[in-house]
Structure 1
Amino acid sequence: MRDRKGAEAMPDALGEALRQTAERLFDGRNYSHAPIWRQIKDLSAEQALWRPSPERHCVWEIVRHVAFWKRHFMDSLAGRPTAPLDEDWRLPPRTDAAAWAAELDDFAALQRAWVETYGTFTRQALLTPDSDGRFERFAQVIGYLEHEAYHTGQIAYLQALMGLPSVE
């Protein structure tokens, strides 16, 4: 990330705290429930596809949804085109065990890039108000962390409905 003068900006304590939070939400000790990686890493493809009713999302769709928005945010920060919103909430063409294993590998790789992105934020970049006087970047960053925590709770609930033991 660059500061307003074009120099490489170094992350500070706030950026580091956000990076650590992103790590903890993925595979660290969370304060409310097991993190997303621990919730999904041992599921079978069949379990990841299970739905409590036909109109509800399955774990696999939730994982892809979380990944979609992580990519969307990172692409938008980097000035790259973002995927069309109608590509959200889609299952892949194949939903067998090999496809689920590949999904998990991709999700873990995405997380490494995600944590790196969070580690680049500086206090100045996060807390400089936008033209409306809002702290939009800080709100976005926190919102994405909240988004992951919310969907991790959904995954835990789906596992409970499947009769699976609670993940610690």
Structure 2
Amino acid sequence: MSQEDPSLALLLALLDQAYDHRSWHGPNLLGSLRGVSWKRALERPGPQRHCIWEIVLHCAYWKYVALRKLPPV
């Protein structure tokens, strides 16, 4: 694609910001996870509740799905 669609570029930038770039909304996902050990990430906060590890996998999977749906840049 020789000319990048501005709305696509914005969508990609916002998707990146949420995960590992400087964000307008506060800590991004990687920043929120800084200092969390793997043991802590696997602890469930209560019955029928998701642990940090499951939430991170959920985020990673849906970022992958979203990027696969977008046209190549």
TM-score (norm 1): 0.37
Q: CA-atom RMSD, angstroms?
A: 2.5
Q: Is the 8 A contact 1:27 1:38 kept in 2?
A: yes
Mapped to 2, the partners of 1:118 and 1:39 lie a distance apart of: 30
Residues 35-50 of structure 1 correspond to what in structure 2 (within 5 A)?
A: 35-50=28-43
Q: How far is the alpha carbon of 1:9 from its aligned partner?
A: 5.6
Mapped to 2, the partners of 1:73 and 1:22 lie a distance apart of: 9
**Matched positions, count:** 73
Q: 1:68 aligns with which of 58, 61, 65?
A: 61
State the structure with more CA Rg: 1
Select the structure with the greater relative contact order (CA < 8 A; seq sep ≥ 6).
Answer: 1
In the alignment, what sits opposite 2:52?
59
Q: How far is the alpha carbon of 1:46 from its aligned partner?
A: 1.1
Q: 2:11 aligns with which of 11, 15, 18?
A: 18
In the alignment, what sits opposite 2:22?
29
Structure 1 spans left out of the alignment, 5+ residues:
1-7, 78-116, 121-168
Percent identity of paired positions between Structure 1 and Structure 2: 29
Structure 2 spans left out of the alignment, 5+ residues:
none
